[in-house]
Amino acid sequence: MWMLLLLLLLALPARAQDLMGHGGPVRALALLPGGTLASAGFDAAIIWWDPGAGRALHVARWHGGAVNALAALPDGSLASAGEDGRIALWPAGGADGPRQVLQAAGASVAALAAAPDGSLAAGSWDGSVRRFAVDGSGRLLGSQDGPVTALAWRSDGVLLSAGQDGLVRAWEADGPVTVAQRGLPRTALAALPDGGFADGGTDGRILLGALTLVAGDRPVVALATAPGLLAAATAGGAVSLWSLPEGRLLHRLDGPAVPVWSLAFAADAATLWTAGQDRRIRRWQVASGAALGPLAPEPRAADAPAAAAFRACAACHAVSAEAPPLAGPSLHHLFGRRMGSLPGYGYSPRLARGDVTWSPATVAQLFTEGPDVMLPGTRMPVQRLQDPDDLAALLGYLEQATR
Ligand code: HEC
């Protein structure tokens, strides 16, 4: 019997598992003080996660387009920015709306970086570099030729920017100083504790002092550092780990071979998170380079295979009445319930309207049309179930588990 369940689980299409958290590629990750992980993506959503439990704590959809960058501020709040040119500060743990909106950058914001003193820097596609004080007041430091692709605060408190123009600049008090001229567009940047920096380019190479590290043959799109470690990801999906300062290759992670847009080390540097085109946040053990499984709770084997269809939902929804609050409302007693009616849950205005009664037919409609089509304005990330068998399994599971 157990063998059979295991076989059923293994035979499940990957599709069912792809519906996890974000409704599009994940563009940015940030580890917040206290261990909460934040992710943001092309689906305009920001998700706050409890990475230990694999649960989503909150989802916000406020930006008017892709969220390109996140930065963790020392007080636990999160800064987000994106395609819509807006920069927002969110309270620790997340909320439906920002606690403060910073002066708009105008052009799409490509990079954010938070300094240990709480000041924030933003770099845009139009080449502008802005600095915001802790109170949110901002000023334009200047503009470089072509898009800013990455920012980092050097250990001496000076802001560094990397550009499409192939330069790395240091924003000294009296203006920008070129600190590296590479000839090829710079696509990633990280500051190192020794006062140096590492910058990656479109050729897949990372330059770090006298060292050249090869991340792959596609552009380096993300760099992350932890004491004695450097991680890099490329647009080809290669993820590499090196030990510093010597630059010895520790591991090449066996990832999904699709672009990996963001990396973050856990506070103890024992775990590395990667996220990208496949919409998943993956966990890796730094010491061994081994995959630790996706960031989502596994259904109990006893519930297989119907529960597997719910795997895409489990990060955000409980099915029992007594489960702890998650990012989405509990689905306990879902069928027969009016939309947006669970007491105590803060729904978006669209769901609060309550003009739908949940039944297998309306839930089927929700996931064949997609939440963005059936309920425009909802905070739930876009999810679609194309396969009628997956949909039937989901409805069957909901029918018995939410009773
Ligand atoms: C990343 C988190 C997330 C994922 C994943 C997710 N949801 Fe949701 N869901 C939400 C949020 C947030 C809301 C409330 C949306 C709002 O208020 O606009 C919601 C609302 C709902 C509602 C309406 C509930 C009510 O009380 O009216 C249903 C039904 C639902 N989700 C089912 C699902 C199912 C089934 C899946 C998996 C296929 C799923 N969701 C995946 C976050 C998520």
Q: Tell me the pLDDT tens digit for each residue of 384-396.
A: 888 898 899 999 9
* Separation of alpha carbons 282 and 140, rounded Å: 36
265 ligand 1 Cβ < 6 A: no
Closest residue CA from atom 34 of ligand 1: 313
| Pocket residue to mutate for ligand 1, from 17, 372, 380, 395, most atoms within 8 A of Cβ | 380
Question: For 140-183, what is each residue's pLDDT tens digit?
Answer: 999 998 999 999 999 999 999 999 999 999 999 999 999 999 99
* Separation of alpha carbons 303 and 130, rounded Å: 52
Chain centre to alpha carbon of residue 168: 25
Average pLDDT of the chain is 89
- 317 Cα: distance to centroid of ligand 1 (angstroms): 7
Residues 214-220: contacts with CB under 8 Å, at least 24 apart: 215/240, 216/240, 219/185, 219/187, 220/187, 220/188
For residue 403, pLDDT beyond 70:
yes
Amino acid (1-letter code) at residue 98: P
Which range (80-89, 292-301, 364-373) has the least confidence? 292-301
- 389 Cα: distance to centroid of ligand 1 (angstroms): 20
306 ligand 1 Cβ < 6 A: no
16 ligand 1 Cβ < 6 A: no
Per-residue model confidence (pLDDT) at position 5: 43
For residue 223, pLDDT beyond 80:
yes
- Say if residues 272 and 264 touch (Cβ distance below 8 Å): yes
pLDDT confidence bin for 16, thresholds 50/70/90 = very low
pLDDT, average across residues 241-264: 93
> Cα-Cα-Cα-Cα dihedral of 202, 208, 211, 212, to 10°?
-10
Question: For 284-308, what is each residue's pLDDT tens digit?
Answer: 999 999 988 655 554 444 455 556 7
Query: Which of 218, 145, 147, 219 is closest to 187 using CA atoms?
Result: 219
Verify cis geometry, omega within 30 degrees of 0, for the bond prior to 305: yes
Per-residue model confidence (pLDDT) at position 59: 92
* Separation of alpha carbons 202 and 12, rounded Å: 37
| Pocket residue to mutate for ligand 1, from 317, 372, 378, 395, most atoms within 8 A of Cβ | 317
Per-residue model confidence (pLDDT) at position 133: 95
pLDDT, average across residues 225-249: 96
- 267 Cα: distance to centroid of ligand 1 (angstroms): 30
- Say if residues 231 and 215 touch (Cβ distance below 8 Å): no
Residue 383 CA, closest ligand 1 atom number:
38
* Separation of alpha carbons 246 and 287, rounded Å: 17
Query: Tokens standing for 103?
Result: 């002066």
- 19 Cα: distance to centroid of ligand 1 (angstroms): 12
- Say if residues 146 and 163 touch (Cβ distance below 8 Å): yes
For residue 264, pLDDT beyond 90:
yes
Question: For 24-57, what is each residue's pLDDT tens digit?
Answer: 899 999 999 999 999 999 989 999 998 887 788 9
Amino acid (1-letter code) at residue 68: N
